[in-house]
A and B are shown apart, each in its own frame.
Chain A
Amino acid sequence: GENVEQHPSTLSVQEGDSAVIKCTYSDSASNYFPWYKQELGKRPQLIIDIRSNVGEKKDQRIAVTLNKTAKHFSLHITETQPEDSAVYFCAASIGDSGYALNFGKGTSLLVTP
């Protein structure tokens, strides 16, 4: 079936540095790409999303870029803080309904003071 690849699986950065997580997808019909943050023992929470008609979206320290031609999208976190430490999942919609999602395997981000 269609899948989503996510890299890296683990990422360690120093506080204040930037963090970048990349994902690729295979379903050309996908049109919705959310990013979720999951802290230990907690439920995933949406942090930012992007639709296929947009190439970039930014919300304070978080930005997402999308290249539909290459079928890849990336999460950028600037000025990282220790509380950014968590597992981040990218996802792509299954088909163009925009509803059901295929998730990447996750990136464990550690921000050290």
Chain B
Amino acid sequence: GAVVSQHPSRVICKSGTSVKIECRSLDFQATTMFWYRQFPKKSLMLMATSNEGSKATYEQGVEKDKFLINHASLTLSTLTVTSAHPEDSSFYICSARDPGLASYNEQFFGPGTRLTVL
């Protein structure tokens, strides 16, 4: 199946700093990627849909100036958490669609990034 990677897997930063998380589709081109936030023992909350070559679509309640998304190529989307605060600590996970598959709706998930803001 399609493979999605994320980097870094874990990051600890000080309050006020910005953190960039990368999501890559390794063996396919993804015109659409998705960013989720997952709290411990909780569900996946969709934050935004990242579209290659255009602006991301943010879900209600998600601050676009706080969570900057860039999808500059067909294999890479980045999420930057700006001026991070302890409440931003969470597990961030991305997914991507492979439009070339017959099951084009299927989303392939990355391994996730654990962000801890001190």
Point out residues on A near B: beta carbons under 8 Å: 1, 32, 34, 36, 42-46, 49, 51, 89, 93-94, 98-106, 108
B49 at interface by CB-CB < 8 Å: yes
CB neighbours of A45 from chain B (8 A): 109
**What separation, in Å, do the CA atoms of A45 and B3 have in the docked complex?**
11
CB neighbours of B112 from chain A (8 A): 43
Cβ of B49 and Cβ of A100 under 8 Å apart?
yes
Cβ of B43 and Cβ of A100 under 8 Å apart?
no
**What separation, in Å, do the CA atoms of A100 and B51 have in the docked complex?**
11
CB neighbours of A94 from chain B (8 A): 46
Nearest-Cβ distance from residue A66 to partner chain B, whole angstroms: 14
Could you list 13 examples of A-B contacts with CB < 8 Å?
A: A34-B105, A43-B93, A43-B111, A44-B44, A44-B109, A49-B106, A89-B44, A93-B105, A94-B46, A99-B32, A99-B49, A101-B46, A103-B45
Cβ of A43 and Cβ of B107 under 8 Å apart?
no
B103 at interface by CB-CB < 8 Å: yes
Could you say which of B34, B57, B97, B107 has the most chain A C-beta atoms within 10 Å of its C-beta?
B107
Interface residues on B, range: 20 to 34
Nearest-Cβ distance from residue B37 to partner chain A, whole angstroms: 11
CB neighbours of B34 from chain A (8 A): 100-101
Nearest-Cβ distance from residue A101 to partner chain B, whole angstroms: 7
* A49 and B93 contact, Cβ closer than 8 Å, known pairs A43-B112, A99-B49, A101-B46: no
**What separation, in Å, do the CA atoms of A49 and B104 have in the docked complex?**
12
